[in-house]
Structure 1
Amino acid sequence: MRSPSVRAIVLAALVMSAASPASAQQAGEGGVRRPFRGLFGGDSGTPTENGQHMSVSFTALGAYDDNVFAGERGSTNPQFQRPGVYGAMTTGLVYSNQGDRHSFDATGTAAFRYYPDQDAVSSTQQMGSIAYGMRLGRTSLQLSQAAVRAPRFGFQGFPELAPIDGSSLSTEPLAFGTNDFDLTLLEMVRLASGASVTQTLSSRSSLSFNYSLRHTRFPDGAPDVTNQQGGGQYDRQITRGASLRLGYGYRQFGVASPNGQTGVHDINVGVNYQRALSFSRRTTLHFDSGSSMVARQGRTFIRLTGVADLEHEIGRTWTARAAFQRGVRMIDGFAEPAFSNSISAQVGGLVARRIDVSGNVAYVKGLTGIGEDALDSRFTTYAATLTVRYAFSPILAAYTQVLRYRYVFGEDVQLPAGFDRSVERGGARFGVTSSIPLF
């Protein structure tokens, strides 16, 4: 199954990025899309005849937040917040070369924030990633490497949910952008590497193996975190849209804590289902299930895990999606693994050719620490966003976004430095975004 804890649990997957095309909609089985009908970004990702594509993007915004930073960098005390305004700019460059047997992708992003009400505090962050793919006969290989440096770090308690616009998500997102929910001035540097190989055995079956390593370093003194996971699975298609899956994976979460490292065994034996429903070809259902065994302090705890997604096309341009995820997660900065249930929903589409709207809501409830000794270790969090965008041309648009976010941790949760047990914040962003294809 697509385990929610193999990746960073990223809110950016819930909050629609203002710089990504919001109207090219995903539909039905096999990734077939309805024709793009919006003005902005329609051809920004189309490769040339030789398979190459390069584009540059730019976003500038002004924002009001009722809970922005007020603490000093490097303080070990909680970073109290107060209302305020700030400005932000983000630039990015994307290159892609897709051949018959080889593919290469590279991205680079830089962001800057300016806080005029806080003694002109400013911050910058950078991210870069590369990915290489190769296909030789029935064997395919994927390699990836990413790095990010950011002066802020925040709790991200939401599962990944693919954007309504159908744009792809990285398998190792790094929580980077101008509308994330950073909560403390705790600097972080993160490196992520991944490799996978798939062997097609027949027209109906395949065997795959994967490994990933992610290391997060906190120069200001917080314990470094190293996550790694590896596994393999066998898939056998039994009907159209359904396949038998036999898989096993092992994850290890390393952080300096009295309980030491935590190992998680993921067992996936069952049916993976994804296809349009017979009574409504516009509705697609996907579900998968499995179990996780967590080894801690000489004991083993078993938890059932699963994921379910329901997507429905509305009219010619609108899409609605709901998702449920249940699993064991490893969240950077926390000394204990988290087990949680999460639900999320999205809706988005075109009001007119120049105007698109998207809304997102999510709720997570869970606990940190697996076992009978997890007393008041519960946490809950929710977020809601609404984004409206107006296209001036295929490469330039303006947008506005409102958001609300809240989390609460129990008294027994061991929090990272700079985190309050309860935080609620809201805000609004107003900006312009541009995506220019170079070739």
Structure 2
Amino acid sequence: MSTIDDSRQESAGFVLPEQALTEIGNRPFGIYVHVPFCATRCGYCDFNTYTAGELGTSASPQSWMEGLRRELDFAAKMTGAPVVDTVFVGGGTPSLLGGDGLVDVLGAIRSSFSLAAGAEVTTESNPESTSPEFFDCLRSGGFTRISLGMQSAAPHVLKVLDRTHTPGRATAAAQEARAAGFEHVNLDLIYGTPGERDEDLDASLDAVLSAGVDHVSAYALIVEDGTALARKVRRGELPAPDDDVLASRYERIDARLTDAGLTWYEVSNWAREGGAARLASGAAGESRLASGARGEARCRHNLGYWDGGNWWGAGPGAHSHVSGVRWWNVKHPARYAEQLAAGRLPVGGSEQLTADDLHVERVMLTTRLRTGLPMAELDAGERRAAEEVVADGLLAREGDHFVLTDKGRLLADAVVRTVLQ
């Protein structure tokens, strides 16, 4: 068993409780890396990201990478370097680092931790900053999964979202990733954008399915405070998303994806059963994919979040969780790098989750999963409330779990509130 370096914990300026450390090997362990750089800022985005103009000379990819290496070194010494089951590089726009830069990120992880055999290694990418050579580099460098931000195939919808990629580029990138040997490729969609029509969504779904990906994420547009989109809605330049339209669009997405063989496993995520991406006859890379292992199409890293797993979040603003302890890093890349250069973890805040906190989160998260909410998780009052939701047709009993019905998925948050009341 790995030992924990207590003196290194103290010097880092942040200490994990002994109980959390002793329990760290009881669940899968993931590493999330946050890349805070973007070429431009999308109008709907409130993530912790920065353009070159916003950063000026205060931070750079080089200073961020130096800080990342230091943080991963701290992480390994503090946790005893458990074997890593999943890696997820998100942002921001990780693909701005280029293929070699992302392989360097994975190399930094490998220098501090060991990856499990068959570890899932994902990176998000903006289609415009990818190429066949980019995907070849990632595949040979150890990445196993690609997630591409598509959002929509309709030019006017992308314009409202301030997305910079051209229609068709996302699906072309997905095909390039598959040709490079990636079995697992995800496309992200956003639905309910002001001005989006049913035919726009249908065109987006046609494009997704033509790409043959084995995973799709689809999210209702949320107007976040402080974004350019929120300001336009507040000024009356754009209408706010309509709840009835959002529900109709979700049903349309679910029907199309289900018919195509992708099954929901979380309210906003669908994966192909068996994990095998479908290839058109004679498609480039077919032999490379056909000879590979047919693995899990669901995103194992995200399943770790939803199932209460342990992970270390490295990078500016990244959140971590280990055995009921949650903490988060300072947001600005310059401050992040400065604190690590000074020999301290860049922790901006932390909390010890109580048993009640953990219970509420488990109900919230497992209710959203296709596997459902374990009945044993609920006390007598919550069980009665869940039975009432069953009577309303929003939950169904499947073995010893409560599972959202099709109607219930549209009202998942309300279902959770009712059960926890």
TM category, shorter: 0.3 to 0.5
Per the normalisation by structure 2, the TM-score is: 0.32
Per the normalisation by structure 1, the TM-score is: 0.31
Q: Kindly indicate which of the two structures has a greater share of residues assigned to strand.
A: 1
Q: Kindly indicate which of the two structures has a greater share of residues assigned to helix.
A: 2
